[in-house]
């Protein structure tokens, strides 16, 4: 079973891997042999065993979602592709672009000598990135597969390529995600950063198609709209390899198909029909000129028509292409269908006398919110006594109490009750409820009470769309307890629990929960799960790694420690999931109300995770005694 691993290693760090346990159905296994010796001269980089293992680990992580395995030992049997290190032109060269990966024993050369990599980290990082890039070519990936999020168009420089015909008029809003199939030579000022790249959405679709894509043959006699061959796209399971970007953590919904066809007579054109709905996002590619296995390629053209025979609109012009930016193959990128209709694809040769073979690859792409299912629980820790005479109990449990009550009353008590939840990334949800009993405490509130405690909230989450099972998210937030003096004003006499949400979230959730004197009330606690950056890590046990995020949340991973060496550095994942507490939602029982306090600027909140304030801006009441 292949596992999705989120981090690449640099230098001679370790073979530590971070895994989600994602797998795909294996139908097109590819074995890759890493040959560091046969082409290496004494004056070239002498890769150490530690560097070789780190490079192999990086490649295995990059391709972990797909049916590709790597070895440092030359296989004695079976087909395998070979990566030759210290060979070929600068950086790297792939033997071919093998769409659908039909050739299982092709080769790649990697040569970073003279590229500026001097430290071990730089050598491993640049070698890993170059090898992953060039290997992608013999698995069918092209430079255009790094255009960026599907629907955002292409890079402005590529759009202005003189080979692109006709001129591309669509969006050039591609993001600067670190993609393994980037168009430029894989060279950065910090060469070790080359180990932090990952595949784009477009690349993931083609790699998944290698594993289990559907291919049909042209039926013939389809030389007009009236005789077009009807096609039905097949659902394609595409794992999401993104570690950042607009589609991070989302489920890919892809329907794809490849048609193997031929232009058999001069002036002939092949027509295919398919059904689509308004707003569907499609990509089309005719692959011929670039495929070595096609002995007689064509200089293709592609057009898309609606059921009335009119060109579909493509950013204010016709949906037609002659050449993509590198070759004579044709491509239509990010076409949005205007209506529910039957559409027609026309493939023809640019020259009326040209004949030959081609492959038509097209797919529909969408994303969906990934459902997150979980359960919450919490304990109170680090209780803060108001004085040396404070009386409190329950630390380390879900219920704490404090203070010496007057006769006939009870001590103050705070408890947390968790609940199951279902949410998606970035969406607020009820993380649990807090019940507070405002006991009447003898003497001054500062004599025997507490001033606050930390709420350590745990969430066990399952994300079926990403094959994440039973992962722990933990966040700890301070709750200030304000035991107010009793006056004739019930609102002013209400005790206050204060917790501050992250900076900049704005209104919507309160951070002050007021409970009237002598009463008990409950309020919902609102949280959300988001994408975050890793700040630090530590081992919570021999088999678990805790990743600290920018939100002071901790994401636990299972780890493989078989070959971990003490003291070796670890390259952490760039993005993980984090748990945020947003504040109180509403009072659900008892007598109390919720208010909001203005949130400090991010610079004030940075590193604290909590700010205390009592300036009331907004009140949400359940009941009042006024």
User: Tens digit of pLDDT for each residue in 511-530?
Assistant: 899 999 889 999 999 988 87
Is the pLDDT at 97 greater than 90, yes or no? yes
Whether 24 maps to a domain, the answer reads no
Compute the distance between CA of residue 276 and CA of residue 274 in angstroms, rounded to an integer. 7
**Are residues 67 and 196 part of one domain?**
yes
Whether 607 maps to a domain, the answer reads no
Compute the distance between CA of residue 320 and CA of residue 353 in angstroms, rounded to an integer. 20
332 versus 458: the higher-pLDDT residue is 332
Domain count across the chain: 3
Beta-strand relationship, 392-393 and 313-314 = unpaired
**Are residues 200 and 213 part of one domain?**
no
Whether 37 maps to a domain, the answer reads yes
**Are residues 242 and 139 part of one domain?**
no
Q: What is the mean pLDDT of residues 283-312?
A: 97
Task: Look at the chain and count its residues.
Answer: 626
**Are residues 472 and 377 part of one domain?**
yes
Give the pLDDT of residue 405. Answer: 86
Q: What are the pLDDT digits (tens) for 357-377? A: 999 999 999 998 778 889 999
Scan for tokens 């748990």, then name that residue: 579
**Are residues 288 and 174 part of one domain?**
no
Is the pLDDT at 236 greater than 80, yes or no? yes
**Are residues 226 and 165 part of one domain?**
no
Whether 352 maps to a domain, the answer reads yes
Detail the DSSP E strand segments found in 243-293: 251-263, 269-276, 281-287
Domain termination site, one of 150, 182, 205: 205
Q: What are the pLDDT digits (tens) for 409-433? A: 889 999 999 999 998 877 889 999 9
**Are residues 381 and 347 part of one domain?**
no
Give the pLDDT of residue 465. Answer: 59
Q: What is the mean pLDDT of residues 150-169?
A: 84
Share of the chain above pLDDT 70, in %: 75
Is the pLDDT at 193 greater than 50, yes or no? no
Domain termination site, one of 368, 384, 406: 368
Whether 255 maps to a domain, the answer reads yes
Mean confidence (pLDDT) of the chain: 80
Give the pLDDT of residue 196. Answer: 53
Is the pLDDT at 471 greater than 60, yes or no? yes
Q: Which of 117-121, 407-411, 570-574 is the most confident on average?
A: 117-121
| Angle, CA 14 vertex, CA 13 and CA 20 arms, to 5° | 120
**Are residues 233 and 119 part of one domain?**
no
Domain termination site, one of 184, 205, 226: 205
**Are residues 215 and 194 part of one domain?**
no
**Are residues 187 and 262 part of one domain?**
no
Whether 506 maps to a domain, the answer reads no
Sign of CA dihedral 199, 241, 424, 277: positive
Q: Coil, strand or helix: which one is 247?
A: coil
**Are residues 199 and 63 part of one domain?**
yes
**Are residues 382 and 360 part of one domain?**
no
Q: Which structure tokens are listed for 338?
A: 């205007």
Q: What range does the domain containing 95 cover?
A: 30-205
Whether 306 maps to a domain, the answer reads yes
């Amino acid at each position: 079973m292949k596992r999705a691993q989120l981090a690449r290693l640099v230098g001679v760090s370790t073979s530590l891997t971070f895994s989600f346990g994602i797998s795909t159905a294996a139908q097109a296994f590819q074995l890759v042999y890493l040959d560091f010796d046969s082409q290496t001269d004494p004056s070239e980089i002498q890769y150490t065993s530690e560097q070789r293992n780190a490079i192999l680990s990086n490649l295995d992580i990059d391709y972990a979602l797909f049916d590709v395995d790597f070895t440092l030992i030359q296989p004695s049997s079976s087909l395998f592709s070979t990566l030759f290190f210290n060979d070929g032109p600068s950086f790297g060269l792939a033997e071919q672009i093998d769409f659908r990966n039909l050739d299982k024993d092709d080769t790649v050369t990697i040569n970073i000598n003279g590229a500026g990599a001097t430290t071990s980290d730089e050598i491993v990082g640049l070698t890993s990135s170059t090898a992953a890039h060039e290997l992608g070519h013999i698995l069918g990936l092209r430079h255009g597969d790094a255009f960026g999020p599907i629907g955002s168009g292409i890079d402005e420089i590529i759009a202005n390529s003189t080979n692109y015909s006709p001129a591309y008029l669509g969006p050039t809003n591609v993001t600067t995600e670190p993609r393994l199939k980037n168009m430029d030579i894989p060279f950065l000022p910090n060469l070790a950063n080359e180990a932090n790249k990952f595949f784009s959405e477009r690349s993931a679709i083609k790699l998944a198609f290698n594993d289990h894509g559907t291919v049909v043959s042209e039926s013939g006699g389809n030389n007009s709209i009236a005789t077009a061959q009807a096609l039905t796209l097949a659902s394609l399971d595409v794992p999401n390899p993104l570690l950042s970007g607009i589609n991070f953590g989302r489920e890919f919904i892809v329907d794809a198909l490849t048609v193997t066809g031929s232009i058999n007579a001069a002036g002939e054109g092949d027509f295919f029909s398919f059904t689509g709905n308004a707003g569907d996002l499609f990509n089309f590619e005719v692959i011929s000129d670039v495929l070595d296995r096609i002995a007689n390629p064509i200089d293709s053209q592609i057009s898309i028509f609606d059921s009335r025979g009119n060109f579909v609109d493509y950013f204010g012009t016709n949906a037609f292409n002659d050449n993509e930016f590198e070759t004579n193959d044709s491509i239509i990128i990010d076409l949005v269908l205007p209506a529910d209709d039957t559409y027609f694809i026309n493939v023809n040769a640019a020259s009326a006398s040209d004949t030959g073979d081609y492959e038509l690859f097209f797919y529909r792409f969408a994303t969906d919110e990934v459902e997150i299912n979980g359960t919450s629980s919490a304990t109170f820790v680090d209780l803060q006594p108001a004085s040396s005479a404070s009386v409190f109990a329950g630390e380390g449990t879900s219920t704490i109490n404090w203070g010496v009550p007057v006769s006939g009353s009870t001590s103050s008590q705070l408890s947390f009750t968790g609940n199951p939840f279902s949410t998606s990334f970035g969406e607020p949800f009820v993380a649990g409820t807090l019940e507070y009993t405002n006991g009447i405490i003898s003497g001054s509130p500062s004599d025997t009470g507490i001033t606050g405690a930390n709420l350590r909230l745990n969430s066990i989450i399952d994300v079926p769309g990403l094959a994440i099972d039973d992962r722990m998210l933990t966040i700890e937030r301070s709750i200030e307890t304000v035991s107010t003096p009793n006056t004739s004003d019930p609102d002013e006499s209400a005790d206050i629990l204060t917790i501050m949400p992250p900076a900049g979230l704005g209104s919507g959730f309160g951070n002050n929960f007021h409970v009237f004197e002598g009463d008990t009330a409950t309020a919902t606690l609102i949280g959300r799960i988001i994408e975050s950056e890793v700040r630090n890590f530590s081992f919570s046990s021999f088999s678990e790694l805790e990743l600290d995020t920018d939100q002071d949340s901790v994401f636990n991973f299972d780890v493989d420690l078989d070959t971990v060496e003490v003291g070796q550095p670890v390259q952490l994942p760039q993005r993980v999931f984090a748990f945020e507490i947003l504040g109180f939602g509403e009072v659900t029982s008892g007598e109390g109300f919720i208010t909001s306090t203005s949130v400090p600027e991010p610079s004030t909140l940075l590193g604290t995770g909590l700010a205390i304030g009592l300036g009331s801006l907004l009140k949400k009441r359940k009941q009042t005694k006024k």
